[in-house]
């Protein structure tokens, strides 16, 4: 995800990285070339003059803009829900760390370190599951060899790590380090982690209905390909410029909606999961008084989201 300070209004006109313009530029060039051909042949197609004028395009363009607005709203809702879920993940991770550190001072440092590593492993496992990337390196440095072998061969790694955290809490209860009320309080936050996991999986596994995307996609391109025939008689050689501008608006809106519909990907405008994962790890280690190792520092310096 690109995070940058607000640019000067003039420089914003020429921003390339993070814009969808590189993605849609070939389509805009194709539409511009088509418009030039339509103007050159005066709106005639195979000796037949296409009888179109701007009036129907004005009305239909308004309706199309409304549908695009709904499409972008639905995509942004998914993006924002993903961001709220990861914000909740940060808050709950800090709360769990605070509870383990303060509810009972008898828990030894080695056990606290094990808990922090399990919690960090859950965050990274969720990150990799959502992005369908390899989690072995991140999990290997945080889990014991037995836990690593158990987790790495599983399909739903975050859920299994959450179970390991529950086992850790149960062991502390048996040792007398936590009473039933304290265990229930921690378990409530573990349930919230489970809700975060389920919410993220719901976004990934339930895309916007495909037929709706296809309908809007076809409508946009049919509209853009017919537009030069409706404008050529009134605009003449200005037609290619106007068509390119209108097409950029519609096509770019569709491209943005497609990009943020899946907020956990690795495109320029998706959520910065790598940055958030490192931030959560650093935050809970700092709360626990653990030294932030060189590997974590290196990650924070070389993050590519």
Percentages helix, strand, coil for the chain (3-state, rounded to 5) are 75, 0, 25
* Mean pLDDT along residues 168-174: 94
Look at residue 299 in the predicted model and tell me its pLDDT: 58
β-partners of residue 49 are: 44
pLDDT over 80 at 145, yes or no: yes
Q: What is the mean pLDDT of the chain?
A: 89
* Mean pLDDT along residues 24-49: 89
Q: What percent of the chain shows pLDDT beyond 70?
A: 93
Can you tell me the distance from the alpha carbon of 28 to that of 26, in angstroms, rounded to the nearest whole number?
A: 5
pTM: 0.87
Q: Which residue has the higher pLDDT, 250 or 302?
A: 250
Which residue has 């068509």 as its token pair? 243
Can you tell me the distance from the alpha carbon of 75 to that of 258, in angstroms, rounded to the nearest whole number?
A: 7
* 301 confidence band (pLDDT: 50, 70, 90): very low
Number of residues written out for the chain: 305
* 290 confidence band (pLDDT: 50, 70, 90): confident
Contact (CB, 8 A) for 125 and 157:
yes
* Mean pLDDT along residues 72-101: 95
Look at residue 191 in the predicted model and tell me its pLDDT: 96
Q: Which residue has the higher pLDDT, 145 or 6?
A: 145
Can you tell me the distance from the alpha carbon of 91 to that of 89, in angstroms, rounded to the nearest whole number?
A: 6
Can you tell me the distance from the alpha carbon of 56 to that of 222, in angstroms, rounded to the nearest whole number?
A: 13
Q: What percent of the chain shows pLDDT beyond 90?
A: 66
Q: Which residue has the higher pLDDT, 270 or 12?
A: 270
Structure tokens at 187: 């378990």
Look at residue 48 in the predicted model and tell me its pLDDT: 81
pLDDT over 90 at 15, yes or no: no
Torsion of the alpha carbons at 206, 211, 213 and 219, rounded to the nearest 10? -170
* Mean pLDDT along residues 228-233: 91
Which residue has 């008898």 as its token pair? 106
Q: Distances in Å between the alpha carbon of 234 and those of 39, 52, 54, 55, 242?
A: 11, 11, 8, 11, 12
Region of poorest pLDDT, from 2-6, 109-113, 290-294: 2-6
């Amino acid at each position: 995800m690109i995070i940058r300070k607000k640019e000067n209004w003039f420089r914003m006109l020429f921003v390339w990285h993070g814009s969808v313009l590189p993605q849609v530029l070939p389509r805009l060039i194709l539409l511009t070339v088509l418009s030039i051909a339509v103007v050159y042949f005066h709106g005639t197609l195979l000796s037949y003059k296409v009888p179109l004028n701007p009036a129907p395009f004005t009305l239909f363009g308004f309706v199309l803009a409304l549908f695009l607005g709904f499409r972008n709203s639905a995509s942004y809702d998914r993006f924002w829900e993903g961001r709220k879920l990861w914000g909740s993940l940060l808050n709950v991770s800090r709360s769990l760390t605070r509870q383990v550190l303060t509810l009972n001072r008898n828990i030894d440092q080695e056990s606290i370190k094990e808990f922090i590593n399990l919690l960090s492993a859950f965050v990274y496992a969720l990150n990799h599951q959502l992005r369908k990337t390899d989690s072995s390196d991140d999990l290997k440095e945080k889990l014991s060899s037995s836990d690593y072998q158990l987790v790495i061969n599983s399909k739903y790694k975050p859920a299994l790590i959450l179970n390991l955290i529950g086992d850790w809490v149960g062991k502390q209860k048996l040792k007398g380090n936590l009473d039933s009320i304290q265990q229930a309080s921690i378990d409530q936050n573990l349930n919230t982690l489970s809700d975060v996991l389920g919410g993220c999986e719901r976004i990934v596994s339930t895309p916007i209905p495909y037929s709706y995307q296809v309908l809007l996609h076809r409508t946009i391109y049919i509209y853009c390909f017919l537009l030069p025939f409706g404008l050529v008689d009134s605009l003449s050689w200005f037609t290619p410029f106007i068509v390119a501008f209108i097409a950029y608006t519609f096509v770019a809106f569709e491209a943005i909606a497609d990009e943020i519909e899946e907020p956990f990907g690795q495109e320029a405008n998706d959520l910065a999961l790598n940055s958030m994962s490192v931030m959560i790890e650093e935050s809970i280690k700092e709360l626990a008084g653990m030294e932030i190792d060189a590997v974590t520092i290196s990650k924070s310096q070389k993050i590519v989201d």
